[in-house]
Amino acid sequence: MIRHAGTAAGPLTRWFKSRHCELDGNCVEIRFLRTVVQVRDSKQVSAITGQNVSRIITLPTDDWRQFLRQVAEDDLATTTDGPLHRVTTDEGNVVLRCESTGVELVYDLDEWDAFCAGVLDGDFDPPVRVS
């Protein structure tokens, strides 16, 4: 059996945001798959279909855990260690860049603050296997 360590996000393959995001607010979205975590931008939606068209960053679960630790230690610092880099621009946006694929996602400060609050609350902790 698998239990999510953070909020109840429904089935593990569904996209979800931090509980600190407004209901219809734009935020960092993630989902857990078997051995990876995927990250996308909730505001990247097609005007035609209404479907999310964000590029997706896919990371092994251990790399995601490393990233969460870095975020918890300093949520606005530039991070160039590991496979996911984080840079705060002069405009105050936060850019996440996957080192292996070059995929970049850009979040404004409100989106990033909600994500960081969720990280500190355990919203994005990977699922834990329990027996």
d(Cα 15, Cα 88) in Å, to the nearest integer? Answer: 25
The predicted model gives 20-29 an average pLDDT of: 79
Domain residue spans of the chain:
11-123
Residue 48: pLDDT over 90: no
What distance in Å separates the CA atoms of residue 96 and residue 67, rounded to the nearest whole number?
A: 11
As a whole number of Å, the end-to-end CA separation of the chain is: 6
pLDDT per residue over 56-108, tens digit each?
999 999 999 989 988 888 755 566 667 888 888 889 899 999 988 999 999 99
CA distance 112 to 95: 10
Confidence at residue 3, expressed as pLDDT on a 0 to 100 scale: 37
Q: Which residues pair with 38 in a beta bridge?
A: 31, 58
